[in-house]
């Protein structure tokens, strides 16, 4: 079995070196998952463009999706990263656990979102009428639906990359649920 490595700045393309420098300035380090993308000359820039696209979803809503999708897909890297980011956007530790369980007691709108995102992943998009109705009844729109699917796709990319390569986790380990 091949043992994958996380490339360092010296081992990536000039374009990726510039992205590493920008991440170092913005985040304080280059997360291993982002560094792993740099095995490809274009994947890191493409992924960051997707991740940083304009969206109708708030930062909290994005983290709800990131956490529940990562939980369903068993991505320990993304659960760790998005628990940390979730706390940065204002969730408590207990709230991140509720999100990962897809049963949010503290906010009915986010609860409809987490159930919707969870069902998208579990059913490959064949979401029940009841779950869709709950999503729209909480004030979400068709624009939001499209943005949720984009977020789910974004997270599946990193979840699958972790599953394939077991990228070393460089965030604090989240609580098990």
Six token digits for residue 174: 């989240």
Exposure on the CB side of residue 27, measured as CA atoms within 13 A? 16
Six token digits for residue 50: 């997707």
Residue 55 phi, psi dihedral angles, 5° rounding: -150, 155
- Return d(Cα 97, Cα 133) in angstroms, integer: 25
Residues 6+ apart with CB under 8 A from 107: none
DSSP string of 67-130, one letter each residue: HHHHHHTT-HHHHHHHHHHHHHTT--HHHHHHHHHT--SS-HHHHHHHHHHHHHHHHTT---HH
Domains and CATH numbers, the chain: 9-51 (no CATH), 59-165 (1.20.1290.10)
Residue-wise pLDDT tens for the chain (177 aa)? 678 999 999 999 999 999 999 999 999 999 999 999 999 999 999 999 999 999 999 999 999 999 999 999 999 999 999 999 999 999 999 999 999 999 999 999 999 999 999 999 999 999 999 999 999 999 999 999 999 999 999 999 999 999 999 999 999 999 999
Write down the pTM of the prediction.
0.96
Residues 6+ apart with CB under 8 A from 100: 67, 68, 70, 71, 79, 174, 177
Q: Among residues 12, 63, 3, 66, which one has the least CA distance to residue 34?
A: 12
Helical pair 108-123 and 59-72, crossing angle rounded to 10 deg: 40
> Which pLDDT tens digit goes with each residue over 52-62?
999 999 999 99
């Amino acid at each position: 079995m091949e043992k994958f490595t996380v490339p360092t700045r010296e081992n990536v393309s000039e374009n990726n070196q510039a992205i590493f420098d920008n991440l170092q300035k913005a985040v304080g380090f280059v997360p291993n998952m982002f560094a792993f993308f740099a095995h490809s000359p274009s994947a890191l820039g493409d992924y960051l463009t997707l991740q940083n696209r304009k969206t109708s979803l708030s930062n909290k809503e994005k983290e709800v999706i990131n956490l529940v999708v990562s939980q369903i897909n068993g991505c320990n890297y993304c659960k760790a990263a998005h628990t940390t980011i979730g706390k940065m956007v204002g969730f408590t530790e207990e709230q991140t656990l509720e999100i990962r369980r897809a049963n949010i007691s503290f906010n009915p709108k986010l609860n409809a979102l987490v159930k919707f995102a969870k069902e998208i992943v579990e059913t490959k998009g064949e979401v029940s009428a009841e779950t869709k109705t709950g999503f729209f009844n909480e004030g979400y729109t068709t624009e939001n639906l499209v943005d949720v699917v984009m977020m789910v796709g974004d997270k599946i990319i990193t979840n699958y990359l972790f599953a394939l390569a077991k990228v070393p986790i460089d965030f604090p380990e989240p609580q098990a649920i």
